[in-house]
Amino acid sequence: MLRWQPPLDDVAFLLGPWLRAGDDWKRIPRFATLDSDTAEAVLAEAGRFCAEVLAPLNAVGDVQGCRLVDGRVRTPDGFAQAYRRYVADGWPALARDPAWGGQGLPALLELAFTEMQAGANHAWTMYPGLLAGAVACLQAHASPDVQARFLPPLVGGEWLATMCLTEPQAGSDLSLLRTRAVPAADGSVRVTGAKVFISGGSQDLTPNIVHLVLARLPDAPPGTRGISLFVVPDVLEDGSRNGVFVDGLEHKMGLHGSATTALRFEGAVGWRVGEAHRGLPAMFVMMNAARLHAAMQGVAHAARASELAHAYAHQRRQMRAEPRMEPEQPADPIAAHPPIRHLLRCLRGWSEQMRAAGYWLGHLIDLHEHAPDADERRRAGMLVELLTPVAKAHFTECGHLLANRALQAFGGYGYVREYGIEQVVRDSRIAMIYEGSNEIQALDLLQRKLLADDGARLAVFCGECERVAAAAEAAGQSGPAAALRRLRRRLWSAFERVRAAAASDVSAPARVADSFLRATGQVLLAYACVRTVAVAGGSAGADAVERRERASWMLGELRLEFNAQLARLRATL
């Protein structure tokens, strides 16, 4: 199987000319000492960890899967050692707050690292995947006492965290939650209920697991306004096991190395995080982080599929192409045949531009949290709010569908284990479902991020598109600039049509939400393309010219997809 390699060329291009992240870091006290070279070096090291430690366990984990032994999860061979190395090397603390022992590096770097991990071994990544979100949630909402007890081991990664939302009857609809929390005399609570699809609900990587659990207090009103958040450790301070039991291990289509557990809480000791009945907003801190992680998993799957397909298509020879690519051989590489050539261009183009857009989102998070100027922080925050559901849904869908298309290039070899592509297809499928299904993201985008603020966030994004179009024009790239302007205008018109329809028909947004999200996703990627064209426009270097050509070509593909989504939107409005 083709060795996984970190995308260091893209890292350099994106941190450097594309984002000019170093220029922004200089303006931000927390990052003032960080320059692009150092950041690149950190990510090169992160890439080495993924390539040397995680990637070799990917197929192993898929074949072995997890097992339940005496009620506890046994992870695949090597997973626990890899995690110990991850902790020893200090990776969990990368972007955590120095006040809690973190290294204080940008969220951008962590997101770039997330993509690498998911590309190398998505299943393994599920274990530490919720650490960042759990820490952010506790920092924002927990009492000093709870923070002091749980944050240090979580920041360092000595313990891991889970997110316990879903119950058998309550998936997308959290208002149906039934798990109960009964206050005890000492200020703690006793949690009782059943949670399903809990990633890493049990594992053999860490001595303790911190469960963040949504449950109802006795006086809770019904619905989502009666849900509180609690922290429930697997092991109590005195070393005894808490009342948290593994009821089962799911048999999944993919991610076999990740333990997806059904947990039963039976009078488990816990502590409230944040206000009573206000658990959902607190949990959303964690959810939003998880959504961006899922988006980067989509990027990772597309990128991995692209690499696998490129390697195979250049090595596999079948039939003659016009013109011949290797006349001295009995047949040409399938990469020379038009349908495969087109597929490879799509795989490369989407991976590159989704990665660019993902990095941009990561950088916007840093600007939102740390930019010195309040207006800059506000605008960055609006973009993050708008684009998080877009990236989560669109990138995970593209990641899976592209991997599935890539499989086709392998013929029969795609359907078997050998080249690893079918595992990418299976592993990538879950990202369209978890952390809020893609349909939920689409509703979130249209109702909470667009209709709720009458398009203010979308207007900020359209302004960014105009800015990048102007930059492309200044670099002599008026064609791509005009294409982006046209797309963003048509997106805005579509929003106005939906808004008008919603005024008289309450079900209109739900009918068109999926199409609208995809159309927005295509404009986001068009933005990334044109920004690439603008940045590479001035340069005559071979790498820049190729990037520009790929991005220009992809704009045409995006326009086709955008047209199809808009036609569907009009037909269903």
Task: Report long-range pairs for 312-321 (Cβ below 8 Å, ≥24 apart).
Answer: 312/2, 312/409, 312/410, 312/413, 312/419, 313/340, 313/344, 313/409, 316/410
Of 134-142, 283-291, 471-479, 505-513, the segment contacting a copy of itself by CB under 8 A is: 505-513
297 binds a copy of itself (CB under 8 A): no
The DSSP string of 5-63 is: ---HHHHHHIIIIIT-HHHHHHHSGGGTT--HHHHHHHHHHHHHHIIIIIGGGHHHHHH
Of 73-81, 128-136, 406-414, 485-493, the segment contacting a copy of itself by CB under 8 A is: 406-414
Question: Which of 87, 235, 311, 433 touches a copy of itself (CB under 8 A)?
Answer: 433
Nearer to a copy of itself, 18 or 434 (CB): 434
Question: Which of 414, 420, 521, 537 touches a copy of itself (CB under 8 A)?
Answer: 414
**How far is CA 285 from each of CA 19, 135, 291, 367, 517, rounded to the nearest angstrom?**
25, 10, 10, 17, 22
Nearer to a copy of itself, 19 or 255 (CB): 255
Of 34-42, 122-130, 365-373, 426-434, the segment contacting a copy of itself by CB under 8 A is: 426-434
Residue type (1 letter), 80 = A
Euclidean distance between CA atoms 76 and 173, whole angstroms:
33
Of 268-276, 526-534, 535-543, 561-569, the segment contacting a copy of itself by CB under 8 A is: 561-569
- Cβ atoms of 531 and 468 within 8 Å: the answer is yes
Residue 167 forms beta bridges with which residues? 170
322 binds a copy of itself (CB under 8 A): yes
Nearer to a copy of itself, 351 or 428 (CB): 428
> 24: how many CB neighbours lie within 10 A of its CB?
18
Nearer to a copy of itself, 213 or 367 (CB): 213
State yes or no: is 45 an active-site residue.
Answer: no
Identify whether 183 is preceded by a cis peptide bond (ω within 30 of 0): no
314 binds a copy of itself (CB under 8 A): no
Closest distance of CB 179 from a copy of itself, Å:
16
406 binds a copy of itself (CB under 8 A): no
Q: Is 203 helix (H, G, I), strand (E, B) or coil?
A: coil
Question: Which of 48, 67, 417, 489 touches a copy of itself (CB under 8 A)?
Answer: 417
> 3: how many CB neighbours lie within 10 A of its CB?
11
- The phi, psi pair for 327, rounded to 5°, reads -60, -25
Catalytic annotation, pick one of 435, 464, 473, 557:
435
503 binds a copy of itself (CB under 8 A): no
Euclidean distance between CA atoms 454 and 452, whole angstroms:
6
Q: Tokens in use for 340?
A: 């495969």
Of 124-132, 286-294, 485-493, 556-564, the segment contacting a copy of itself by CB under 8 A is: 556-564
Q: Tokens in use for 12?
A: 């350099």
Nearer to a copy of itself, 196 or 287 (CB): 196
Of 21-29, 295-303, 355-363, 511-519, the segment contacting a copy of itself by CB under 8 A is: 511-519
Structural Rg of the chain based on CA atoms: 24
Q: Tokens in use for 240?
A: 């005894």
- Cβ atoms of 309 and 409 within 8 Å: the answer is yes
Question: Which of 103, 139, 539, 563 touches a copy of itself (CB under 8 A)?
Answer: 563
Closest distance of CB 126 from a copy of itself, Å:
13
Site string for a copy of itself, 461-500 (x = CB under 8 A): ----------------------------------------
Question: Which of 429, 449, 547, 550 touches a copy of itself (CB under 8 A)?
Answer: 429
Q: Where are the alpha helices (DSSP H) in 128-246?
A: 131-141, 144-155
The DSSP string of 326-375 is: -TTSSS-BGGGSHHHHHHHHHHHHHHHHHHHHHHHHHHHHHHHHH-SSHH
Residues contacting a copy of itself: total by CB under 8 A: 64
Euclidean distance between CA atoms 394 and 518, whole angstroms:
6
Which residues, numbered 155-194, are part of the site for a copy of itself (CB under 8 A)?
166, 169-173, 175-176
Euclidean distance between CA atoms 259 and 422, whole angstroms:
20
Euclidean distance between CA atoms 127 and 125, whole angstroms:
5
- The phi, psi pair for 267, rounded to 5°, reads 55, 35
239 binds a copy of itself (CB under 8 A): no
Of 229-237, 265-273, 286-294, 429-437, the segment contacting a copy of itself by CB under 8 A is: 429-437
Which residues, numbered 513-532, are part of the site for a copy of itself (CB under 8 A)?
513-514
511 binds a copy of itself (CB under 8 A): yes
Per DSSP, 460 falls in state H
Closest distance of CB 486 from a copy of itself, Å:
16
342 binds a copy of itself (CB under 8 A): yes
Question: Which of 140, 184, 319, 470 touches a copy of itself (CB under 8 A)?
Answer: 319
Residue 68 forms beta bridges with which residues? 73
Closest distance of CB 123 from a copy of itself, Å:
13
Euclidean distance between CA atoms 309 and 59, whole angstroms:
17
Question: Which of 55, 151, 309, 432 touches a copy of itself (CB under 8 A)?
Answer: 432
Closest distance of CB 426 from a copy of itself, Å:
7
Of 112-120, 134-142, 252-260, 536-544, the segment contacting a copy of itself by CB under 8 A is: 252-260
Question: Which of 41, 99, 184, 416 touches a copy of itself (CB under 8 A)?
Answer: 416
What residues line the site for a copy of itself (CB under 8 A)? 166, 169-173, 175-176, 196-197, 250-254, 260, 317-319, 321-322, 330-331, 337-340, 342, 404, 407-408, 411-417, 422, 425-426, 429-430, 432-434, 437-439, 442, 506-507, 510-511, 513-514, 556, 560, 563-564, 567-568, 571-572
**What positions carry a catalytic annotation?**
435
